[in-house]
Amino acid sequence: MSLPGLDRRAVLGSALALSACGPKAASQPAPVNAPPLKTVAPFPVGTCVQAINLDDPAWTAIALDQVGQLTPEWQMKMEYIVQPDGSFRFDAPDRLAAFCQSHGLGLLGHTLIWYAQVPDAFAKLDEGRISFEQAYINYILAVAGRYRGKVVGWDVVNEPVAEDGEGWRDSLWSQRLGDFEHIALAYRTARQADPDAALLLNDYNLEYNPRKRATFLKLAERLLASGAPLTGLGTQMHVAADIPRGQITAMMRDLASLGLPVHVSELDVSIVRAKGWMTSRADLERRQLETYVETAEAFMALPARQRWAFTLWGLRDNQSWLKRENAADTPNLFDGQDRAKPALAALAKVFAG
């Protein structure tokens, strides 16, 4: 048997892992010994990070082993950076940037403009002193400029499409600067601040809602037609284990149709958000593995130049943002005891080709 990029130990580990899907697996999981994802994937593999994770040796051991790129989970958002008086704080993002630099990791800035975050300092701006538009531009120049050369890219605008897929989000940004114009302006300004960064557009439910996906693609086309420097498309992929087979594959094909690189930007596969026809946890865990695998296969099927990166929204179940919604959720690739799940080995196998 010859599998490029896999050593013998890893192959044996994967085989063990896959055989762990039998009935005994739920109570006594076999140890999974898969090659680290970053060593087999022919594109960057990433995860999200908070500054506090850097103080946790268990987190750093797993992250440095598995991934080559980090996305700040919230500390590069306006909610963190913009203070009530309109000043900016950069302590945590600076720390994340320094960590990435010293460990040779890529850093994806996330995110400059998001309808969901409109700090008071913008809502109550004294426009006798500075225009709303200038304050908006200054923010992007300050943040993207500070991390120029230190990030591989930015999610410039996050979640621009309305929930039902009919048009774009309404926000203070769209009200004050125009629904399309504020988006295009964000891209032009980010490019001015950082000539080399990838400038991505990121959204969710693109696999569940084809109408939302079509609107997302139309926005991307319109941005490109207007000359805005959009360089890639992010699909968050906060999906549930019962997502019907084929939906992720269909999304990936559609997203690739513009020829832009695609970023799987926030992948996790919720167990508890799955509803209806599956009752047993074992069934859901099997579907969780299959969903990770379908995502990896659909991504691998893209032309190499369109595979921007594959980012997991967390590595360890215990640290998932979904725990706040339901503590019983286990959406990631490492379980509560930091053991790799069979899904990790399955993903590594797909990435190894």
Residues that bind ligand XIL (CB under 6 A): 73-74, 158, 204, 236, 266, 321
Helix (H, G, I), strand (E, B) or coil at 106: strand
Distance between CA atoms of 305 and 316, rounded to whole angstroms? 30
Residue type, 319: Q
Nearer to ligand XIL, 233 or 352 (CB): 233
CB of 321 to ligand XIL, least distance (A): 3
Nearer to ligand XIL, 40 or 113 (CB): 113
Helix (H, G, I), strand (E, B) or coil at 40: helix
CB of 216 to ligand XIL, least distance (A): 14
Tokens of 94: 């600076």
CB of 323 to ligand XIL, least distance (A): 10
What are residue 82's DSSP bridge partners?
A: 88
Tokens of 78: 């306006």
The contacts of residue 260 (CB under 8 Å, 6+ apart) are 220, 230, 231, 232, 233, 306
Nearer to ligand XIL, 74 or 132 (CB): 74
Residue type, 211: R
Nearer to ligand XIL, 187 or 313 (CB): 313
CB of 154 to ligand XIL, least distance (A): 13
Nearer to ligand XIL, 41 or 49 (CB): 49
CB of 334 to ligand XIL, least distance (A): 16
Query: Phi and psi at residue 189, in whole multiples of 5°?
Result: -70, -40
Tokens of 119: 């700090």
Cβ-closest position to ligand XIL = 321
Which stretches of 262-325 are assigned E, i.e. beta strand?
262-270, 307-312
CB of 11 to ligand XIL, least distance (A): 34
CA dihedral 254, 194, 315, 350 (to 10 degrees): 40
Nearer to ligand XIL, 333 or 346 (CB): 333
Distance between CA atoms of 46 and 308, rounded to whole angstroms? 11
Residue type, 149: G
| Closest residue by Cα to residue 45 from 31, 65, 60 | 65
CB of 108 to ligand XIL, least distance (A): 11
Nearer to ligand XIL, 6 or 267 (CB): 267
